[in-house]
């Protein structure tokens, strides 16, 4: 078994949950916050058999697409805003995924 940890943008979280349910993939979901964009994220913990890892990754990739977005960087603590007053285009969305081995799995 593997533990798939997937961090996705909130905008994609509900759709991914529906996709997981449709494919009988059980996931635990909780809210997280990213540091750079200070935007809401959702982290899924998914324990799956080795045979379902590829399917799980495929579903995440198909559901959580990267896209471009404009954002205004936060003001620096030293008060220097001259270089940071204009919105910049950044890539958001997609997913950050980590896969870990599960040594033991029990459900009570």
24 falls within a domain:
yes
**79 — alpha (psi -120 to 50), left (phi > 0) or beta?**
left
108 falls within a domain:
no
Mean pLDDT of 46-57: 96
15 falls within a domain:
yes
Residue range(s) defining the domain that contains residue 14 = 2-73+86-101
CA distances in angstroms from 39 to 11, 24, 103, 107, listed in the order given:
10, 29, 33, 33
Residue 19 CA to chain centroid, in angstroms? Answer: 14
Domain count, the chain: 1
81 falls within a domain:
no
The radius of gyration of the chain from alpha carbons, rounded to an integer in Å, stands at 17
CATH code of the domain containing 14: 3.30.70.120
Tell me the pLDDT tens digit for each residue of 4-41: 999 998 889 999 999 999 999 999 999 988 765 566 78
91 falls within a domain:
yes
CB 81 within 8 A of CB 75: yes
- The pTM of the full predicted model, rounded to 2 decimals, is 0.77
Tell me the pLDDT tens digit for each residue of 65-105: 887 777 776 666 565 555 556 777 776 678 999 999 999 98
The mean predicted confidence, pLDDT, of the chain is 85
26 falls within a domain:
yes
């Amino acid at each position: 078994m593997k533990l798939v940890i997937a961090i996705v943008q909130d905008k994609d979280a509900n759709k991914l949950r529906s996709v997981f349910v449709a494919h009988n993939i059980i996931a635990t979901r909780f809210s997280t916050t990213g540091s750079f964009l200070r935007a809401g994220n959702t982290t899924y913990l998914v324990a799956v058999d080795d045979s379902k890892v590829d399917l799980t990754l495929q579903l995440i990739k198909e559901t959580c697409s990267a896209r471009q977005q404009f954002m205004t960087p936060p003001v620096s603590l030293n008060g220097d805003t001259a270089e940071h007053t204009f919105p910049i285009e950044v890539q958001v969305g997609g997913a950050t995924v980590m896969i870990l081995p599960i040594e033991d799995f029990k459900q009570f």
